[in-house]
Amino acid sequence: MALLVPSSSLLISLLLVLLFIDPSAASPIANATGYALVARICEQTYNKYYCTDALKSDPRTKTADAKALLEVSLKLASSNATATTLMIQSLLKDAKDPGLKDHLQVCADVYKGIVDDLTRANASSKSGQYDDARKSAIRATHGPESCEVAFKEPPAHKTPLSTYNFYVELLSDIVVNIASSIKL
């Protein structure tokens, strides 16, 4: 049985072809738009079903490219973080228990940081600094857990913010995944 050894010119030709292939052309996200892009992005998130529903709630999503989808996701995450901040302020105003007030104050401080991080992510996105937007959104994803942990500290209280924290974390994760998909 003869062993077939490719000629050196065939190897060089193959190498040249591989060098000139655009890697973004092979990426399933790079060329996707609209709902196809939503499906591909959401597969990478903590909760693909919530991600899909959240992004499709904005009519721009139907024809959005990754940059437009990032704008949609930033708006959703920022709106939810701001609503949570308002909820915390309301709960703080009504709280009588000093331990509960302490926990809520930790969350108020955490959410100030989350809103700031998402504001920075938005500014970075608008200036084309998608990696900076991603980094800011990563910081925002960690905030809700810090708020949850505060309620476990003595004196422990049941958190009234679990649902809010859950959605802010998921929405921030969506921002991270979309920003990560954008290559310059």
Q: Record the pTM.
A: 0.82
Give the chain's end-to-end CA distance (angstroms, integer): 50
Centre a 10 Å sphere on the Cβ of residue 112 and count the other Cβ atoms it contains.
Answer: 14
* Contact status, residue 137 vs residue 78, Cβ threshold 8 Å: no
Whole-number Å distance between alpha carbons of 45 and 56: 15
Whole-number Å distance between alpha carbons of 45 and 29: 14
User: pLDDT 10s per residue in the chain (184 long)?
Assistant: 444 444 444 334 433 333 343 333 334 455 688 999 999 999 999 899 999 999 999 999 999 999 999 999 999 999 999 999 999 999 999 999 999 999 999 999 999 999 999 999 999 999 999 999 999 999 999 999 999 999 999 999 999 999 999 999 999 999 999 999 997 5
